[in-house]
Amino acid sequence: MRPTGIESLRGVQAALMEVIAPELQSAFAQDAARTAQMMLESLANDWDTAAENLHRDNRALRDLLSQTREAIGSLPESNDRLVALVKEIDGALAKPTGQSLAIYDLTAENERWRGLLERTLVDLENASLKAAFLPLMPVRQAIYAHLREVAARGWSFWDVMSFRERMTRLRAGDSR
């Protein structure tokens, strides 16, 4: 269907910037329009990739938890928290993987995996203080590497201000 979702979003952005914003009288309304523009940009960036990212992340999370389970299983000694964690991971891994590619379903599955990863990472952080649990550190690093990849997809309000370009000009003596 044309315009596609992304074409429509870009059209809304253009209308907001070229038609609506110039008519706004108050500084507060203009600021709200700029924020709406940033929000639309954020959504547009997600439009094509959200489902694929969630699908890939869910597989990665499942693999990471499986690796964690293996690493804990290979330890010569454990503790109550890690034993309970293995049980919980085993339970989650035993469930069939969802087949739906709907964002709603992928998100629900992602939250289940991330919830379990949250508890796992806290246990690994505490384990990182003890030499006996040193063999768990590679999987801890693998989890952080995954979380870094996910976090790097986001952007932030201080990125959108074009500060760097303006500063480069200022430092070069161009005060326009």
Distance CA 48, CA 146 (A): 21
d(CA 17, CA 38): 11
Distance CA 54, CA 42 (A): 16
Q: What residues contact residue 126 under an 8 Å CB cut-off, 6+ apart?
A: 81
Say how far apart CA 136 and CA 133 lie, in whole Å: 6
42 contacts another protein (rule: CB under 8 A): yes
- Show the site string, 72-101: x = touches another protein by CB under 8 A, - = not: ------------------------------
Chain centre to alpha carbon of residue 111: 11
Binding of residue 102 to another protein (CB under 8 A): no
Q: Is 150 in the site for another protein (CB under 8 A)?
A: yes
Q: Which stretch binds another protein (CB under 8 A): 72-80, 82-90, 93-101, 123-131?
A: 123-131
Give residue 89's identity as a one-letter amino acid code.
I
Out of 111, 131, 135, 138, the only residue in the binding site for another protein (CB under 8 A) is 111
- Comparison of 2 and 176: residue with beta carbon closer to another protein: 176
> Which parts of this chain interact with another protein (CB under 8 A)?
26-28, 30-32, 35-36, 38-39, 42, 111, 114-115, 117-118, 121-122, 124-126, 129, 140-141, 143-144, 147-148, 150-159, 161, 163-164, 166-167, 170, 175
